Chains A and B, each alone.
Chain A
């Protein structure tokens, strides 16, 4: 089989110059599964359980796309990719979607040959301190020692923030998040900083979680979202509108439980969304009931959020900026019409 693959590689090498590439959607349908690049190491976003079953926000988003394309959320293959190889994996077609808590930045969008498809989670860097310090705001952190992971944007953000506020700090850098958490717990530094979603996860691992508070200030913008390879508009549209469909479904009150009743709704927006009226999905290469499939199998955005990182999970994250725009958050999706 390896031999066959090698021969195939050679053949493709010869043909590559002339052959036109089929769209990703075609390839995905032919393969019968979508390859989604995930991290595998971020609590609440993508992590396998003890039986090897994946869960998390990033994972559920991949399942939503699979539900839209195949009407089966199981037809998705999760490929763990590291931070350094994630963009290459996307460019070379090793994965079809990168759903790996990746921050949407100008450079990545413009130069890396990939396209971001919206924002799945608004994250931002925050601070955690021990209640004993009596600190109420990040502005009071002048002179504090801060546990940071080396070589991350968090390191640069802290430096920017303290310089902008004319404060000083002592960085205590560590190689891994685990290490810095343990060191923070033993009192090696006053402040622990990372993305807000990570802070909540890390707090649960401290010896006395209740003794620590997460300060309200968020000092950076970390919009996390799925990305696809640059150049295939149709596939980009499918991924982008899967995300918008999830948000629209929550806004219109369509959940995995009531979606069957909602099919009989008289609200024209819901009718359009679920494909009762018009056949919008078909214009994208899918079926008209694509949103019905997504919501039926995976749920709407709110359900995904609550299931993986919401207040009832060990992470216990409030919606905050990830609430719908109608409820004071930033989640806003263009209408399906």
Chain B
């Protein structure tokens, strides 16, 4: 893998995304504006500073990232295949890992940046509404956990999305596979509580209660990071020029 090549592929993904936003795709701009206004202004202004510590920020901002990521990540390979640009890209000197990582990061980076921006706007909005001259800031563990969630949860989705898009014939098919994953993620807590024995769930809750939020966040973050890396490695292993050229 050559970092310069990863940056080159990222550059193209960012260019296309930027051109899509400034060009014809008004729908994506509307989604972005809605997400920004709702999660950056309306929601924090209604809830007060409690959202700094109640853990809801972690889920909210991870959710934003997942929503923003859905379409572009499904497009990375399947879209190139649909538009007949993939084979030409494969015929260049770019190595496999630069293509995979460049595409993944080219989509993930702007999504994480946009989500972080919304998070920052939400903190400012909370201060304007509830600060009364004092600076209100979330505790460090909350900021760290939220930022980690903004990167790692959409990162997990991006890694799965790259895998889904790699051999999907159409963007639509890749997006459908991703939707199934998101549904699985949403229903996972329910499945865990229903399927696993009651005693296991009780022990898990007790285990979580026995540790500080920072410790739990660190453990979950480490697990997610390992999962993200594992699924990216799976994508690299599945990347075969021959199969990609023929799909």
- B partners with A: no
What residues make up the interface of A, taking CB atoms closer than 8 Å to B?
none
What residues make up the interface of B, taking CB atoms closer than 8 Å to A?
none
